Amino acid sequence: MVKTGFIHQRKKLGVSTGTFNHNLKVFKEAVMRRVALTILGVVLLLFASWGSVSGAEEAKLEGILNINSASIEQLQMLPTIDETLAQNIVYFREANGPFPMVDDLIKVNGMTDQHLEAIRPYVSTEGESTLKVME
């Protein structure tokens, strides 16, 4: 039978219990520092990307966008609508026909109540699209 546990390895190497425990403690602290730095990095990246998204939402919009004739690029002008969600809106419209009501956007993959409430003042299902980004 081959012994491979920590205690056997410690004894085989002639390392005292105190030294072994100290080295294990140092190793654990190093791992925890790396984990903490990784988490901090991820949080900072999220805040950086959130800042750029919220900055886009602060653009002043004027007019209305007809969701039944809007292009992917036009849909992306709306707050909270990224390229993927804009594509999903167009794909849904192409597969199912025009949206009878703005609330039907909730049926689109990726659309949430929060998205819908953010864009509601700027969208309609009929008429000419007049939406403009004001500077």
Phi, psi of 110 (to 5 degrees): 95, -15
Calpha distance 101→50 (Å, rounded): 30
Calpha distance 49→71 (Å, rounded): 25
Is 80 among the domain residues? yes
103-123 residue pLDDT tens: 999 999 999 999 999 999 999
Q: For residues 59 and 53, which has the higher predicted lDDT (pLDDT)?
A: 59
Within this chain, do residues 38 and 14 fall inside the same structural domain, yes or no?
yes
Is 111 among the domain residues? yes
1-55 residue pLDDT tens: 555 666 666 666 666 667 767 778 888 898 899 988 999 888 888 777 665 444 4
How much is the pTM?
0.57
User: Interhelix angle for 17-57 vs 6-13, to 10°?
Assistant: 120
Is 40 among the domain residues? yes
The neighbour count for residue 102, using CB atoms within 10 Å, is: 15
Is 1 among the domain residues? no
Q: Give me the pLDDT at residue 54, please.
A: 45
Phi, psi of 2 (to 5 degrees): -95, 130
Most distant CA pair in the chain: distance in Å?
84
Look up the domain containing 17 and give its range: 6-57
Q: State the CATH number of the domain containing residue 100.
A: 1.10.150.320
Q: Give me the pLDDT at residue 46, please.
A: 79
Rounded to an integer, the average pLDDT of 78-95 is 96
Q: Give me the pLDDT at residue 26, please.
A: 85
- In this structure, what token pair is assigned to residue 127? 């008429």
Tally of domains within the chain:
2
Rounded to an integer, the average pLDDT of 53-61 is 60
Q: Give me the pLDDT at residue 47, please.
A: 74
DSSP state of 110: T
Is 104 among the domain residues? yes
